[in-house]
Amino acid sequence: MPRVHVSVLGAGAWGTALAALASAQADTVLWARAPEVADAIARHRRNPRHLSDITLPQALRATADFGEAMGHVLDAPTASLIVLGVPMAGLADICARLAQDLPTRRAGPLHLLWTCKGIDPDTLQLPHQIIAAHLPRRPWLHAGVLSGPSFAREVAHGLPVALTLAAGQPDTGAVGQAVYHGTQARIYTTRDIVGVEVGGALKNVMAIACGISDGLRLGTNARAALITRGLAEIQRLGIALGGRADTFSGLAGLGDLVLTATGELSRNRQVGIAIGEGRCLEDILAGGMTAEGVRCARAALALGRRQVIDLPITEAVCHVLFDGLAPREAVAALLSRDPRPE
């Protein structure tokens, strides 16, 4: 396949890491909302706001001009890929901005990948539903999600990673593999967008639960139980929403859950640890620590109730985060549930 043109929209930690990774095999531009960030990357090969201690590749270009970033892919003579490197909270806005630049007609496909993980707290929509609501329908716009066990810092440092790319059209998987597969990354493809998205969203909630357990010093047995039963909880909701069972035993399910529930770089786990050690959520968030699982927990519980799916760990996390339930009482409530077959 000829060299792909890639525009990564969003210069947060994950957007920066994915842009750096893509630049090894593709002609890559990183769009930063702030001009000073784009200028710092161009001049000093550093993102001053995210991963600021990591030197970015010389091949990576940066711009604060949205039109320039879009022109890079829309006017490219070869295959083109847009990567949305924004969190859930910014997905609708970036899609609305992107919609203004998309043409009504195009000769060949334009590929789009999103990387955010979560459930919208107001609409209970998954990312693909938000994108469908905010982007015009174009037969040549081929979209998918890139997910799996990955810390941005490790990817930016050049350490190995394996990810799942879920898309409706096989050519999107092929383009994603041409960009990312074979340097430090392995990219596996699937068509199960819903399963990949549910795995990515709920693993953050389960990581908070595991962090609370670790903060309470409940031991590795308890952590293993939470990971295992948490995975069953994720799978129940995912299947109810149309996901495939086998997705949850793969990278986007078990792999992402294990990483986020045990990794030292996991913000969701760190929030849980702080809560288990007795700090209140308001103080934790006021200190600058953010975690998608906090934003996702209530939405996941509401979505489960809509589907009449039992999500006991998610419910316990919500009670601790938002209702003032003491973490030890939440653990006791989980342990006192009626026995049942696995």
Give pLDDT, residue 93.
97
Confidence of residue 298 (pLDDT cuts 50, 70, 90): very high
- Model confidence at 338, in pLDDT bands (50, 70, 90)? confident
pLDDT band at 2 (very low <50, low <70, confident <90, very high): confident
Q: Is residue 203 annotated as part of the catalytic site, yes or no?
A: yes
Return the exposure string of 27-56: e unless at least 16 CB atoms fall within 10 Å of the residue's CB, then b. bbbbbbeeeebbebbbeeebbeebbeebeb
Q: Which of 50, 61, 117, 203 is catalytic?
A: 203
Residue 276 banded pLDDT, cuts 50, 70, 90: very high
The pLDDT value recorded for residue 26 is 97
- Residue 341 is predicted with a pLDDT of 86
pLDDT at 305 over 90: yes
Q: Where are the domains of the chain?
A: 5-191, 194-335
CATH class of 194-335: mainly alpha
The structure tokens 């293993």 sit at 224
5-191 CATH pick, 3.60.21.10, 3.40.1180.10, 3.40.50.880, 3.40.50.720: 3.40.50.720
User: Strand, coil or helix: what is 146?
Assistant: strand
DSSP label at residue 267: H
Q: pLDDT digit string (tens) for 83-118?
A: 999 999 999 999 999 999 999 889 889 999 999 999
Give the single-character DSSP code of 181.
Answer: B
Q: pLDDT by residue (tens digit) across 199-239? A: 999 999 999 999 999 999 999 999 999 999 999 999 999 99
Could you give the CA distance from residue 24 to residue 240 in angstroms, rounded to a whole number?
39
Mean pLDDT of the 55-60 span: 98
DSSP assignment of 299-331: HHHHHHHHTT---HHHHHHHHHHHS---HHHHH
Identify the band that residue 290 occupies on the pLDDT scale cut at 50, 70 and 90: confident
pLDDT class of 8 with cuts at 50, 70, 90? very high
At 332 the pLDDT is: 94
User: Is pLDDT above 90 for 183?
Assistant: no
Q: List the beta bridge partners of residue 164.
A: 147, 188
Round to whole Å and give the CA distance between 75 and 103: 11
Residues 158-165, mean pLDDT to the nearest whole number? 98
Whole-number pLDDT of residue 340: 85
User: What is the reported pLDDT for 330?
Assistant: 97
Residue 59: pLDDT over 80: yes
For residue range 11-47, list pLDDT tens digits in order.
Answer: 999 999 999 999 999 999 999 999 999 999 999 999 9
Give the pLDDT band of residue 55 (cuts 50, 70, 90). very high
pLDDT at 261: 98
Q: How confident is the model at residue 342 (pLDDT cuts 50, 70, 90)?
A: confident
Residue 279 makes CB contacts below 8 A (sequence gap 6+) with: none
Of 160-169, 253-262, 279-288, 301-310, the range with the lowest mean pLDDT is 279-288
Q: How large is the average pLDDT for residues 282-295?
A: 88
Closest CA to 232 of 255, 256, 249, 211: 249
- 321 in Cβ contact with 313 (< 8 Å): no
